[in-house]
Amino acid sequence: MPFVYLLRCRDGSLYAGAAKDLALRLARHRAGKASRYTRSRLPVELAWWREVGGWGEALRAELRLKRLDRAAKEDLLRAEGSDAGGGEDGDAPPAGPGAAIADGAGAAAGATAARRRRR
């Protein structure tokens, strides 16, 4: 089963991605071989993940995460828990929190971000 995930980079930024093999993808990020964005912001740590039903679902969830602003991503981490269990050893988790984003119902995080923008 594929995963959708958030990485926290050295500069504090959050990177959203999707992977069929989360442990391998995390290892590639840490080696600087997965994306130009994370390569320039090493080290990275797994902050959040969610196992999803299929690759198409993972890509849709990744896009929803990427569309969230930073405040909404931070709200998601606070609401659903950070350090979701990936740990420093790079083992892929069996499952993690995050049903709201994976199921397309990330309205709570999006609504919070919208309220902040209106202020």
d(CA 70, CA 93): 24
Scored b (16 or more CB within 10 A) or e, 63-82 reads ebbeebeeebbbbbbeebee
How many structural domains are present in the chain? 1
Mean pLDDT of the chain: 79
Q: Give pLDDT tens digits for 31-83.
A: 999 999 999 999 999 999 999 999 999 999 999 999 999 999 999 999 987 55
CATH number for position 98: 3.40.1440
pTM for the model: 0.72
pLDDT for 107 equals 40
Domain of 103 in residue numbering reads as 3-118
The stretch 100-110 carries a mean pLDDT of 46
